[in-house]
Amino acid sequence: MADGISLTDKLATFGDFWSPRTITTFNDCDVMVVKVKGEFTWHSHEDTDDFFLVLKGNLDIELRDRTVTLGPGELYVVPRGAEHRPVAREEVHLLLIEPTGTPNTGDTATAAARKLA
């Protein structure tokens, strides 16, 4: 990578929600940005933790026993195997880091296709 990556510029290249865009990779992981709004499906990742960093807006990560609320600059790691559902009552921008190929729904049959930003 010759130059730095502007997250703001990458987020400006698309408008659809719940469709992560890979902006770079490292150590067999994808670094992605995504815009979200509304409720995502309940799901879990059996083989990996799930990393969320809020860049803009407020995000609720609903777990079966509690809700974690995040604002800009805050992050949360959902432990592997924990059922969760992200909920955004407004447009929220996130940075995600996942092992390359991890389905965003925890199931390859229902996962969004990976796109480049």
At residue 101, the pLDDT reads 80
pTM: 0.88
At residue 111, the pLDDT reads 57
Domains parsed from the chain with CATH numbers? 7-102 (2.60.120.10)
Q: Which residue's entry shows tokens 């990458």? A: 10
Residues in the chain: 117
Contacts of 36 (CB under 8 A, 6+ apart): 17, 18, 59, 86, 88, 91, 92, 94
Going by C-alpha positions, the residue among 53, 98, 96, 93 that lies closest to residue 73 is 53
User: Could you tell me the mean pLDDT of each successive run of 10 residues in the chain, 117 residues long?
Assistant: 89 96 95 97 92 99 98 98 97 96 62 63
Q: Concatenate the DSSP letters of all residues of 49-116 into one string.
A: -EEEEEEES-EEEEESS-EEEE-TT-EEEEPTT--EEEEEEEEEEEEEEEETT--TTS-TTTPPPPEE
Neighbours of 32 (CB within 10 A): 24
